[in-house]
Structure 1
Amino acid sequence: MKFPLKPFVIFLAAAPFSAIAQEVVLDAIVVTGQKIDVQSFSGTDVDAASLASQRPVSSDTASLLQDVPGISLYGAGGISSLPAIHGMADDRVRIQVDGMGLVSACPNHMNSPLSYIDPTNVDIIKVYTGITPVSAGGDSIGGTIQVNSAAPEFARSGEGTLLKGQLGAFYRSNGDGYGTNLSTTLANEYLNLTYNGSTAQSNNYRAAQDFKAAGPAAADRGWLAGNEVGSSAYKSENHELGLALRHENNLLEFKASMQDVPYELFPNQRMDMTENNNKQFSLRYTGQFQWGDLETRIYEQTTRHKMQFGEDKQLQYGTALGMPMESSGKNRGALIQGNILLSARDTIKLGSEIQNFRLNDWWPASMDTVGGMGPGTFQNINNGQRDRAAFFAEWDASWSPQWFSQLGLRSEMVKMNAGAIQGYNDRPMYADDAAAFNALDHQRTDHNLDLTALARYTASPTQTLELGYAQKTRSPNLYERYTWSAMTMAAVMNNFAGDGNGYVGNINLKPEVAHTVSATWDWHDADKEQWNLKVTPYYTYVTDYVDAQRCPLSFSSNCTVANQTATTGFVNLQYVNQTAQLYGMDVSSQMNLGEYAGYGSFVVNGVLNYTRGSNLTTGDNLYNIMPLNTKLAVVQSVGNWSNTAEWQLVAAKNRVSEVRNENQTGGYALFNLRSSYTWGNARFDIGIDNVFNRFYGLPLGGAYIGQGKTMSANGIPWGVPVPGMGRSISTAFNLKF
């Protein structure tokens, strides 16, 4: 097919385009990009048009955030990256999918919240990377990411029945990945019925060059090439059914969804996800009244999760056939909030939120009575309970055309508990730690307080300044508080850092309290259409930051002297409260270069991010902090074509966490090309990522433990970062009807 590649030639060589332009009568083309919601502080809206060009490249919804200033991604499985905001990731970031606060039910956090919505089902994303309003936060210190599917659409009055939909497919050369998606809507003026479905799967991807010797992946496994990244394959299937009723200014919406992931392999974990079944139900009401508007929501999430060694990791250990690990989680929540218009100047938002989470995590016996993984069941967390109840109030005030302010207060109670546990057997390596844990009072109650104070000053039609302070609080999760075994084999199975180390919980952990100050200077043209430049410096001081220390000798006989001093290799750690600081700057810009006859319009976008994180208690660096990085993109739009040339530059990561023996990574530069062609209701995308096939290690990808004897502490090499993907050609086709 010649026509998809032709725009690339034109774009790079600047050849005349007039011949193609004359062949077709073209509709008007609207160029869109990231939009800043001027009514929200430190918030970035990424709309459907901005997301469209990114969907063909990845089936990982978190990857849709990669161009948002302040965002970086912890590497994980093919659909489960963990977004980090200013160096804080995972549970430190509040993630809401269609308003639901989803929870990971896995000791490795493989089933991350964003993995439960396919990129093709995402309509808009709002990200708070700076000061997060208390109505959008809670139980988090890093920020908030709100991902939403499309709102229900209804037929116009008197126009009968609305029938519409979209059908799509994609293919990616690296990993031989492919998938499909379908959405349909049937609606009249009052009733909407919508279905969304998608599939995605991929084999292992390949790096740009050999980073290990070719050979069998493990003693009882198949062959891996030297550049093949073991345990990076995945397969997923998603279905969602929505029903909505509308009457005047009232909307009632019900959604039911299910996900089946038969496998998702992880190159930076010792185990793989071999089954994950998730069901979600939500009921939402919104209404508009003379006094303001009201929203209520209830939801339930049920997860059944299994782990085992995938096809690239050794399965047989003596008489043990693998190591089955299972977990089940039930997450229920409810929200009610109202926006009350007190006057032309003042708006009050009042709300209450509850969430109840139940977790069981157990490891069935995998060997006979003479072995170490039997004859009983290892209980990692037994009847874990984490219940939240919150109340919040926000006051927005428009003091003048120049001044706008927001004050927020959120009070939250978090109650946690867990039952008695046991090891595989009553040998001292399990029994001593189990007895010590069972002797403790497991119930903990945290009373947390969030505060926000923000102001915006519009100095002129071309200059805006935002200033803010926030106190945010997060209670530890169940795995941080209640995992109990320091025995190496058990500890390394409790790891959502992707660093190959073992982690043990600490029942006495206190909530993290973060104090953040942030400012944003925004320069732009008067119409906010031709150019803009935003600069956002920030500083965060965290008391009782949950970091890690080497497993203390006083904690368990499984904690060794050698583990205390090792400067290489994998180590065992325990969560501990310490003091930390994070600071940095986000810079983003956009400039319209104008229209050129025969070549179309050109727009330049740029993003630069810098984050520094340090542990003030120990003097160590915080783990997985993205080094200085920048991205520059030139977008050409001509006729029905849109073409993008993108450069990504990342500095070397040499500030690493010594307590974790974190790997350093080198700096790198990548060049990507993308093109899309729109004809009526059809859209075709083609792109080449990593055009020059550069080899690089992922700064936040963790340690490569994707093959071999991963159960053994010394069965896999230490010091190998997970490599990035080599050259990949992606194509996608979408048809709206």
Structure 2
Amino acid sequence: MRIRLQPLAASIAVAFAIPAVAQTPLRTLDEVVVEATRERDLPGAAAPTAGELERLRAATSDTASLLREQPGVSLYGAGGVSSLPVIHGLADDRLRIRLDGMDLIASCPNHMNPPLSYVDPSNLKSIKVYAGITPVSVGGDSIGGSIVAETRGPDFAQPGQGLLTKGEVGTYYRSNGDQRGINLSATVASENLSLSYSGALAKADNYKAGGEFKNFTATGRGNELARNEVGSSAYDTRNHTLGFALRGGNHLVELKLGYQDLPYQLYANQRMDMLDNEQKRANLRWLGQFDWGRAEARVYHEAVDHYMNFGMDKQLVYGTAVNGMPMYSRGRTTGVETKAEIDLADSSLLRLGALYQHYTLRDWWPPSGTGGMSPGTFENIADGSRDRAGLFGEWEKRFSPQWTTQLGLRYERVTTDAGDVHGYGNAMGNQLVDAAAFNAREHKKTDNNWDLTALARYAPSQAIDVEFGFAHKTRSPNLYERYTWSTWAMAAVMNNTVGDGNGYVGDPDLKAEKANTLSATFDWHAADRRWELKATPFYTRVTDYIDAVRLTNNAGFNVLRYTNQTARLFGLDLSGRMPLGNTALGQFAARGLVNYTNGKNLDTGDDLYNIMPLNTRLSLTHELGGWNNAVEMVAARAKNKVSDARNEVRTPGYALFNLRTSYTWRNIRVDAGVENLFDKLYYQPTGGTYTGQGTTMGINSIAPGIGVPGMGRTFYAGLNVRF
């Protein structure tokens, strides 16, 4: 069963996708949809099929990386199942990421538990990216795009069918890092009641790069790592979801209960490792269809308990008295949201909505011995809270078969606060002075944020579509940006959400970021969509952009403080496809995309951090019967525009080649392939700085200037069976 609260045209793809015909409501700029359904949303559409999504699943356990083939999207390197998506140079909390309608928040000073890390790729039904102008109905408290991820929805038996039972089981193996996993889903349903379960286990050891990238082997544990082994890249994660749904007439009530048990996920670009993460979530929603339109109400709650310390590749004992550095975070999120779509008589649609979200955070570090980390507990963030209350309205109007417009306005009131803090109770690193200065000032801050979007679509012929728009968007700082307080280098380097090896200190006086974006999409295509070419230029100017300034001035790693400055970003996305021939040997086609983003701090003249350089992805595909094959090239230019304030690592250009094949027979699918065919040593341009082994507690006790390399040659195979 599928109940969609957005118009059908607002649910179909951007990258290589068929735009909605002019008679449908406005299709938002650069919306990408990857759906795990056998049918396409519209006849002849080029949105990714279920097989394409399954092909991506076979090669990764990281849900965010399912977006790696979409225009305008790149990834910040992080843990093996927790990379952070980037849209047009803006990442992490600058994006609005929703999982099953829930706005989840990373409860970690290193953002090791982002929203998409709580869903396994095997349980994902769809993932949509709004990479251009994001409608206010899916945005809010963000200045970049939006990502909307949905797990599998409920299935019901057809009338007179009796009891419906169905399921799926899958497994995979990837050679590099001994990656292995299994997933299972099952559904039992009548015409009106549906019960479902989905679960997945994934585990991996450290992976190997395509060559030696370091000149040292020590870990500080008495063991050594090979010079091509990427330390702290192993993980072990388990995800489970229970679903209950009741249908009656035009109404649906659904409850989803989720649980994650993550024993460890190590980080090659962080000083610490995640050694336990437990998430529990409950998500209750009601959907209804009426003569006047549709309505939805949702209430959800999430509880996260997070523990960090030094993993197996980082030094644990310092001297004789300190045995590691335990760090705990506890986050609690409760949200309520309602929204409605009202069909108006004059070929227009009105969307209205309201939300309230309450988030609390405590981040504390117990004493680990005598000396610097004793005798008391270090309160990194005490009694932190972040409350959002918002309203939005969005009007969509079709003036003619050629012209459609959309106007949206959103208001949010964001209030943050934190309690008084203290260090371990000694004078090391100015803990006493910094805590006293923080406690003496006002902590509570309230932001009144406005978003505005204006979009238009013009279709002068069956071969050309043009979409263009403007957006004003606002984001309030997160709790780590406002309330981390210690300038002590050892404490500061534990607060780092970007993986550059530096330490960060917050500022309670930070203002909300405000972005003005212009974007357009020019779409040329054949009348039957056999070939197409899209170009999306964009320009964004951000006032009160949250960047950072140095508090120290070392040649290696430094302590920085968050500050408001001005930034601008611009770029171009190109994507397209074309058939090459339909022969007795099968159908041949070519697909490709090119992304370019340029980011600059206008106050300092420095380049913005972690901007992906010019990159491309080109593939030659072949289909014959149940076979689907491809040869792919992934390439990026050298990264020379870097953030000097952070001593960001430069990376050389590269070209990688991948091969893949799959065969589908009835309810069985087999995938196989090899990535980085020639085992090339390359560095991830947005992978951060290598801090994966050694004495990581000292700010400059490890070697600076080493990028995190990408994975070397990897053979993989996956099997999926439906029953």
Q: TM-score range by the shorter chain?
A: over 0.9
The answer to whether structure 1 residue 573 and structure 2 residue 560 are counterparts is yes
Contact 2:394 2:409 in 1 (8 A): yes
Q: Structure 1: how far apart are the matches of 2:177 and 2:458? A: 49
Contact 1:34 1:46 in 2 (8 A): no
Contact 2:535 2:573 in 1 (8 A): yes
Match in the other structure for 1:640: 626
For residue 372 of structure 2, give the secondary structure of its aligned residue in structure 1.
coil
Which one-letter code corresponds to 1:374 in the other structure?
Answer: S
The residue correspondences of 1:517-536 to structure 2 (distance < 5 A) are: 517-528=518-529, 530-536=530-536
1:266-317 deviations in Å (ceiling 9; x for gaps): 0000000000000010001111100000011111110000000000000001
The answer to whether structure 1 residue 35 and structure 2 residue 17 are counterparts is yes
Which one-letter code corresponds to 2:402 in the other structure?
Answer: Q
Q: Structure 2: how far apart are the matches of 1:187 and 1:327? A: 39
Q: Structure 2: how far apart are the matches of 1:36 and 1:259? A: 36
Shift of 1:188: 1.0
For residue 586 of structure 1, give the secondary structure of its aligned residue in structure 2.
strand
Match in the other structure for 2:505: 504
Contact 2:127 2:148 in 1 (8 A): yes
Q: 1:300 to 1:156 in 2, by over 3 A?
A: same
Which one-letter code corresponds to 2:569 in the other structure?
Answer: L
The residue correspondences of 1:669-688 to structure 2 (distance < 5 A) are: 669-688=655-674
- 2:75 equivalent among 73, 79, 82: 73
Match in the other structure for 2:39: none
Match in the other structure for 1:44: 32
Q: Structure 2: how far apart are the matches of 1:335 and 1:221? A: 53
Match in the other structure for 2:602: 616
Q: Structure 2: how far apart are the matches of 1:192 and 1:420? A: 48
Match in the other structure for 2:547: 547
Match in the other structure for 2:206: 204
Q: Structure 2: how far apart are the matches of 1:37 and 1:386? A: 38
Match in the other structure for 1:6: none
Match in the other structure for 2:425: 425
Which one-letter code corresponds to 1:394 in the other structure?
Answer: E
Q: Structure 2: how far apart are the matches of 1:391 and 1:477? A: 20
The residue correspondences of 1:131-142 to structure 2 (distance < 5 A) are: 131-142=133-144
The residue correspondences of 1:255-654 to structure 2 (distance < 5 A) are: 255-318=256-319, 319-368=321-370, 371-427=371-427, 429-528=430-529, 530-551=530-551, 563-564=552-553, 566=554, 568-597=555-584, 599-654=585-640
Shift of 1:36: 4.8
Q: Structure 1: how far apart are the matches of 2:393 and 2:201? A: 41
Match in the other structure for 2:249: 248
Q: Structure 2: how far apart are the matches of 1:89 and 1:700? A: 11
Shift of 1:367: 1.3
Shift of 1:34: 5.4
Match in the other structure for 1:121: 123
Contact 1:221 1:312 in 2 (8 A): no
How many residues get paired? 688
For residue 579 of structure 2, give the secondary structure of its aligned residue in structure 1.
strand
Q: Structure 2: how far apart are the matches of 1:476 and 1:244? A: 37
Contact 2:374 2:426 in 1 (8 A): no
Shift of 1:93: 0.5
Contact 2:16 2:577 in 1 (8 A): no
Q: Structure 1: how far apart are the matches of 2:625 and 2:18? A: 27
Q: Structure 2: how far apart are the matches of 1:709 and 1:456? A: 56
1:540-592 deviations in Å (ceiling 9; x for gaps): 000000000012xxxxxxxxxxx23x4x3001100000000000000000112
Contact 2:280 2:303 in 1 (8 A): yes
Match in the other structure for 1:232: 233
Contact 1:37 1:45 in 2 (8 A): no
Q: Structure 2: how far apart are the matches of 1:140 and 1:447? A: 13
Q: Structure 1: how far apart are the matches of 2:302 and 2:238? A: 17
Q: Structure 1: how far apart are the matches of 2:92 and 2:438? A: 26
Shift of 1:51: 1.3
Q: Structure 2: how far apart are the matches of 1:334 and 1:675? A: 44
Q: Structure 2: how far apart are the matches of 1:252 and 1:34? A: 34
Q: Structure 2: how far apart are the matches of 1:514 and 1:37? A: 27
Q: Structure 1: how far apart are the matches of 2:63 and 2:152? A: 15
For residue 432 of structure 2, give the secondary structure of its aligned residue in structure 1.
helix
Q: 1:34 to 1:731 in 2, by over 3 A?
A: farther
The answer to whether structure 1 residue 85 and structure 2 residue 67 are counterparts is no
1:29-55 deviations in Å (ceiling 9; x for gaps): xxx995356342121112221311111
Q: Structure 1: how far apart are the matches of 2:230 and 2:660? A: 25
Q: 1:36 to 1:105 in 2, by over 3 A?
A: farther
Which one-letter code corresponds to 1:107 in the other structure?
Answer: P
Q: Structure 2: how far apart are the matches of 1:295 and 1:468? A: 27
For residue 117 of structure 2, give the secondary structure of its aligned residue in structure 1.
helix
Structure 1-normalised TM-score? 0.92
Q: Structure 2: how far apart are the matches of 1:131 and 1:290? A: 30
1:460-490 deviations in Å (ceiling 9; x for gaps): 0010000100000000000000000000000
Match in the other structure for 1:560: none
Q: Structure 2: how far apart are the matches of 1:115 and 1:497? A: 16
Q: 1:609 to 1:620 in 2, by over 3 A?
A: same
Match in the other structure for 1:661: 647
Contact 1:35 1:46 in 2 (8 A): no
Match in the other structure for 1:13: none
Shift of 1:56: 1.2
For residue 102 of structure 2, give the secondary structure of its aligned residue in structure 1.
coil
Q: Structure 1: how far apart are the matches of 2:19 and 2:668? A: 29
Instruction: Pick which of 193-202 and 142-151 moved more.
Output: 142-151
Match in the other structure for 1:729: 715
Q: Structure 2: how far apart are the matches of 1:367 and 1:35? A: 58
The residue correspondences of 1:96-245 to structure 2 (distance < 5 A) are: 96-213=98-215, 215-218=217-220, 220-245=221-246
Q: Structure 2: how far apart are the matches of 1:107 and 1:339? A: 38
Q: Structure 2: how far apart are the matches of 1:418 and 1:33? A: 42
Match in the other structure for 2:7: none
Q: 1:426 to 1:213 in 2, by over 3 A?
A: closer
Shift of 1:644: 1.1
1:115-142 deviations in Å (ceiling 9; x for gaps): 0000001111111001000000000001
Contact 1:500 1:705 in 2 (8 A): yes
Which one-letter code corresponds to 2:546 in the other structure?
Answer: V
Shift of 1:214: 5.5
For residue 224 of structure 1, give the secondary structure of its aligned residue in structure 2.
coil
Match in the other structure for 2:11: none
1:475-529 deviations in Å (ceiling 9; x for gaps): 000000000000000000000010000000000000000000001000111122x
The residue correspondences of 1:5-20 to structure 2 (distance < 5 A) are: none
Shift of 1:223: 2.1
1:680-720 deviations in Å (ceiling 9; x for gaps): 10000001000011110110000001000000112110010
Identical positions, percent: 55
1:604-631 deviations in Å (ceiling 9; x for gaps): 1101000000000000000000000000
Shift of 1:161: 0.9
